[in-house]
Every structure is written in structure tokens, then in C-alpha cells.
Amino acid sequence: MAQAAMFSANQMIDIAIQTEQAGRAFYEAAVQHSDEPQVKSLCQWLADEELTHEQTFRRLGQDLPPEIEPREWPTERAEFIDALLGSRFMPKPEQAEALVEGMSAQDILDFALNFEKDTIVFLYEMRDMVPASAVDKVNEIIAEEKAHVSRIMKAEAALE
């Protein structure tokens, strides 16, 4: 029988907040380093979106009862989440500046696209771990993240 791992809704929300902060730092750095006006504009919009999501997750965290029991998940699922977080689809905010330096507009968009897709995967996992009262808000953010993917893909097509 597979071992189970424990995750709490609060832990998942904390990870979501950190992810949004890292995304915002990357997009703000991209605004400063890109020479492509369309990429600058898109990255500014994405940075603003990340801030909004961070604020939403903070409110969700405040609305959670302080002592929600962590749920048990099969080892395979826990390992999947660890692998997703281990690949760390976004570096720490203090690393964003160095990461963006030397990136072309295409590199920035490719990185952004992968980040947004990985964020969606994480949010699907998170949605299963939060209380029912938070699921609609997580679904709303998933839909917004999908819109981010669409806008990035359109920007990539326009660069070609």
C-alpha cells in the first residue's frame, strides 16, 4: 500500500502566494529589460494580474479556519506536486532580474508561457486541497491563468 502525504490548504495557499510574487517579479523585470513594446505591455499587464491573484490568495488564506486538518494524498500525488514545485516553474523574486537579463523577447514569452501553464497545473492540484468555500475562487483564477496563456501565445505569434 502506498504511503500518504499530508498537505494543508494553508500550505497550498502560501505556495500560491509565493508563486504569484515570483511571477510578478519576473514580469516587472521583463518590463525593464525588454526592448519590444508589445512584450513590455503584456508583461506589465501580467505583473498587475499576478498582484491581483496574490491579493486574492491572501484573502482566501484569511478566510480559512485557522486549524484545517491536512488532507492525506497518495504518495504518487504528493511526489507529483513535489516534482512540480521542485522544477520550480518560477525562481525566487530576488532572482528575477538576473534571469531576465540577456533574454530575448521570444525567451521572455517562452518562459512566461511555461510559467503560466505550470501555474494552472498547480492550481488544479490546489483546488482539490482547499475547502469547498474556496473552490469557486480557485476556478476563477484558473480561468484567468488560461487567459494569460492565450495572450502570451498571441504575442508569440505576433513576434514571428
Does 17 reside within a domain? yes
Cβ partners under 8 Å of residue 121, min gap 6: 84
Among 10-19, 62-71, 134-143, whose mean pLDDT is lowest? 62-71
Does 87 reside within a domain? yes
Q: Is the pLDDT of residue 143 over 60?
A: yes
Report the CATH number that the domain containing residue 91 is assigned in CATH: 1.20.1260.10
Does 20 reside within a domain? yes
Does 67 reside within a domain? no
Structural domains in the chain (count): 1
Mean of the per-residue pLDDT values of the chain: 84
Q: How many other CB atoms are there within 10 angstroms of residue 147's CB atom?
A: 12
H helix runs in 34-89, sequence order: 37-63, 75-86
Among 21-30, 108-117, 127-136, whose mean pLDDT is lowest? 127-136
Does 131 reside within a domain? yes
Does 79 reside within a domain? yes
Cα–Cα distances (Å) from 26 to 29, 51, 53, 102, 117, in that order, read 5, 12, 15, 13, 15
Q: Report how far residue 62's alpha carbon sits from residue 73's, in angstroms, rounded to the nearest whole number.
A: 24
Q: Calculate helix-pair angle for 37-63, 9-33, nearest 10 degrees.
A: 160
Q: Is the pLDDT of residue 84 over 80?
A: no
Output the pLDDT for position 136: 92
Output the pLDDT for position 134: 86
- pLDDT tier for residue 34 given thresholds of 50, 70 and 90: very high
Task: Tell me which residue range forms the domain holding 20.
Answer: 4-62+72-159
- Half-sphere exposure in the Cβ direction for 1 (13 Å, CA): 4
Q: Which pLDDT tens digit goes with each residue over 88-117?
A: 566 677 788 888 998 999 999 999 999 999
Output the pLDDT for position 4: 40
Does 24 reside within a domain? yes
